[in-house]
Amino acid sequence: MIDNSIAVQLRADYSAFSPTERKVARVLLQQYPLAGLETVAQLAQKAAVSGPTVLRLVAKLGFDGYSAFQEALRTELDAQLQSPLLRREPNLGLHGHEFLHSFADNIQKLLAQTARQLLPEDFDAAVDWLAQPRHRIWLIGGYITGPLAEYFCHHLQAIRPQVSLLRPMPNTWVDALVDMGKNDVLVVFDIRRYWPELQPLVNLAAERKCRRILITDQWTSPLSAQAEITLTAYTEGKTGWDTNVAIMLLIDALIAALNNRDWEATRARLEQIERLRHNFHLG
């Protein structure tokens, strides 16, 4: 089990880096993991820093040298592409309550790791973007994360106007893209094994000056290169299947923060919704 990806370490230790080291960290996160597979000179040029600055950052991450750092990135790439058949730990001779307790303990660790590595400034910025009622919001998820995007969408629609869920059908996305504009927000869910069809959607949204929030796992979707905010959840399970509980933590935390941002406006909207529901005899 990989406890920490390099992306997670970069976010967790970000405040401890020097200003020039933060430049390198930002480039690595924005073009993860490909930027880290380039030479020291190429990475330094992208970050507008010196080669020794890159090496100092690598050392702070706990690597003996740049080659060890790159080898760790390659190992992560292998983990990203693993199927459930390869992920299962041969542990699990546990049954009944023993299995449940072991499973629950692992979930608690994943939740704690997720909360610990989250950059407060990224979370706060995401809340700021989602709280602006003038700016439209679109959400999209994949085969597994589609229901999570739908759950988030339903809550956002209760809190604020102009929220839409994109269907996981690329041929329908053009109808949404034509309406995307500056400072609107696209929220994308993408976990391993990542969905490459999302890449052109995010690229085109960026061209239209739409803000991009990515919710992903600790191995970090390639879409992080185009995302302006990346929120990472620990999802690795021991049974062969990753768990979405930590992603739900991020969603529910965002919903709660949005409720707190302007509760009076939210309450007024919810009261209107409840009055309208009575017309359809809905409980």
pLDDT at residue 220 in the model? 84
CA distances from 193 to 123, 216, 217, 221 (A): 24, 11, 10, 9
Residue 111 has a pLDDT of 95
Q: Where in the chain is the domain with CATH 3.40.50.10490?
A: 110-278
The β-bridge partners of 212 are: 186
Contact 258, 130 (CB under 8 A): yes
CB distance 186 to 203 below 8 Å: no
d(CA 152, CA 203): 23
Angle formed by the axes of helices 245-261 and 146-159, nearest 10°: 10
pLDDT in tens, 116-163: 888 888 999 999 999 999 999 999 999 899 999 999 999 999 999 999
> Which among 211, 202, 216 is positioned nearest to 130, based on CA atoms?
211
Q: Which pLDDT score, from 0 to 100, does residue 224 have? A: 85
**pLDDT at 80 (0 to 100):** 64
> What pLDDT score was predicted for residue 1?
45
Look at residue 278 in the predicted model and tell me its pLDDT: 87
Topology at the third CATH level for domain 6-80: Arc Repressor Mutant, subunit A (1.10.10)
DSSP 145-212: THHHHHHHHHHHHHHSS-EEEPPS-GGGHHHHHTT--TT-EEEEEE-SSP-TTHHHHHHHHHHTT-EE
Residues of the chain with CATH 1.10.10.10: 6-80
Q: How confident is the model at residue 247, as a pLDDT?
A: 98
Select 110-278's CATH number: 3.40.640.10, 3.40.50.720, 2.60.40.10, 3.40.50.10490: 3.40.50.10490
Q: Which residues of the chain have pLDDT under 50?
A: 1-2, 85-86
For residues 216 and 106, is the Cβ–Cβ distance under 8 A?
A: no
